Structure 1
Amino acid sequence: MATKNHFKFYWVDVFATEPLGGNPLPVVLDADRLDEATMKLVTREFNQAETTFILKPTQPGATHRLRSFTVPGHEVSGAGHNALGAWWALAARGHLKADSPEVTFHQELGEHVLPVDVLFEGQDARRIVMKHATPAFGATVSDPARIAASLGLEPGDIDLARFPAQVVSTGAPHCLIPVRNRGAIDRAKPDAERLLSLLRDAGGEGCYVFSLDPVDPAATAYARFFNPTVGIYEDSATGTAAGPLSVQLVAKGVVPDGSTVIIEQGFAMGRPSRIEMRVRGDDVRLYGAGIVIAEGELFI
């Protein structure tokens, strides 16, 4: 049990296949004694895309409440790397009881209470499975020149003939931008103000630029994520965007309903990540693991 002014934390590389890859996430335990302003200061101190704080639940049926913040102080509540990494830290460091090979917990994220399945081999965590919210399809953006200008690309790089540029949500509304190939995605250099304007007009939080041109032929898509609305220039693995993309790929018949979708992300940042999604109708689930690379205490 944490003593006064001491707060245990873990550092997790989420969706990583080896240490120092994936998306780095600090996870702070027993955070009920921290007010929101201090959580934001701690997030700024860690200086990662997001930091997650684990608290006691406030809604019936929840096991833990999770709050996640970005460095500029925005709170995010989608079930992405911020949540999966927190559950991985709890499971991998012995804070969850492994009384069967698959144990279901429930996380309070914003207004939602969603199930989380932790898969174990003996007492060792093997995988986390998180249910996303029901898919919702939002506005489309039909001007390829405007899209391209916001991303530092040419209009011909934007592939609206095959997919719409559309806001889709499975818990967080992100604008999915289809691009012709992986090379064009790697060339993207977003203009923050233009992209922010586009996202505001479309009702999107972040921008997921994708192509069906993965590095690994066994994968489905290759993507990058930019989110100026919450102060993230680029994110190396974004589960809240992989959910919407997998839903759109099923809706457009790229993969059949009930399939596994593998999305590659983070390659342009030197932090390769593989994100696994499974879609069956309105049931959208994120699969993944992580690597705890550090742990320590905060003295506040």
Structure 2
Amino acid sequence: MRRFSQVDVFSDEPFRGNPVAVVHDANGLSDEDMARFARWTNLSETTFLLPPVDPTADYRLRIFTPSEELPFAGHPTIGSAHAWLEAGGRSSSATEIVQECGAGLVRLRQGAALAFAAPPLLRSGPVDAEDRQAIARALALEESQVRDLAWIDNGPGWVGVLLEDAAAVLAVRPDWNAFGRWNIGVVGPHPDGAECAVEVRAFCPGVGVAEDPVTGSLNAGIAQWLAGDRLPTSYVAAQGTVLGRTGRVHVDRVGDTVWIGGSATTAISGQVELGR
């Protein structure tokens, strides 16, 4: 039997964020064991905590969606770090945790809430005309409604779409038949003085999740694209509104480093029998 946690991430309200399933002490599990369990949990991500290979890391994390393994994902990083600390994990630093994952080493800042330093983008820059048209079709939008697009891929393959405002983001009703391979993040500003600076939505049916409730990796990519230019260097993003969630992602850009933080609360804890 292995220790198991299910952690709600990015909301101060119980069961209104994004859950991640975390299996502790995952040594001895095969790739298929992990993939099978991730399919069974049917959450956007399931993670497995392992001893690090890199001596500078505190633990190693493998991240699975119901259909594939990811090199990095945001809310699983915060949720898994929370579960690791709650289980007695101790970092050599009083202020930081170092996670090893498929994307390399990811730093997490400890404080009132955990926050991770966004890894470098694997792909960035403009989207070509053919892809712009395909993305607009997938979102069931006219191209004129799209203010800007950019590749903001830090592992899951994100392309970012900037709309006029938060209301336009909330009004999106994708054409799933036209979606194909895309993982699309949509962002639009709230009015000045609102609780949150932007509204964000994440569409990723290619990895088995039509719309992800609250997405750390996407918000990291958006901040690397827009923070300090068309968005403030520090702000709060709302996500999950259409799904009945109250996701709140705290973004802080310090120089070239983007920190993505938020609440994490263990909702379920127990044991799971895996790897027989």
Give me the TM-score of the superposition, normalised by structure 1. 0.82
Partner AA of 1:165 in structure 2: L
Partner AA of 2:269 in structure 1: E
Range with bigger deviation, 188-197 or 287-296: 188-197
Match of 1:266 among 232, 240, 248: 240
Q: Which residue of 2 aligns with 1:34?
A: 29
Cα distance in 2 between the residues matched to 1:56 and 1:221? 37
Partner AA of 2:82 in structure 1: W
Q: Which residue of 2 aligns with 1:152?
A: 140
Cα distance in 2 between the residues matched to 1:243 and 1:175? 12
| Backbone CA RMSD of aligned residues | 2.4
Q: Which residue of 2 aligns with 1:243?
A: 220
Deviations 1:69-93 (A, max 9, x none): 1112x111224001110011222x2
Deviations 1:162-183 (A, max 9, x none): xx21112345541111122333
Spell out the pairing of 1:50-89 with structure 2 (5 A cutoff): 50-72=45-67, 74-89=68-83
Could you tell me whether the CA contact under 8 Å between 2:166 and 2:198 is conserved in 1? no
Give the deviation of 1:291 after TM superposition. Answer: 1.1
Spell out the pairing of 1:1-300 with structure 2 (5 A cutoff): 6-72=1-67, 74-91=68-85, 93-97=86-90, 102-119=94-111, 126-135=112-121, 137-142=124-129, 145-158=133-146, 160=147, 164-170=148-154, 172-197=156-181, 199=182, 206-213=183-190, 217-250=194-227, 252-255=229-232, 259-300=233-274
Cα distance in 2 between the residues matched to 1:170 and 1:281? 18
Could you tell me whether the CA contact under 8 Å between 1:16 and 1:273 is conserved in 2? yes
Partner AA of 1:113 in structure 2: L
Figure out how many residues of one structure are paired with residues of the other and give that number. Answer: 272
Cα distance in 1 between the residues matched to 2:7 and 2:254? 29
Range with bigger deviation, 130-139 or 229-238: 130-139
In structure 2, relative to structure 1, the CA distance for the partners of 1:190 and 1:177 (3 Å cut) is same
Could you tell me whether the CA contact under 8 Å between 1:57 and 1:65 is conserved in 2? yes
In structure 2, relative to structure 1, the CA distance for the partners of 1:34 and 1:239 (3 Å cut) is same
Cα distance in 2 between the residues matched to 1:235 and 1:215? 26
Give me the TM-score of the superposition, normalised by structure 2. 0.89
Unaligned runs of 5+ in 2: none
Cα distance in 2 between the residues matched to 1:227 and 1:214? 27
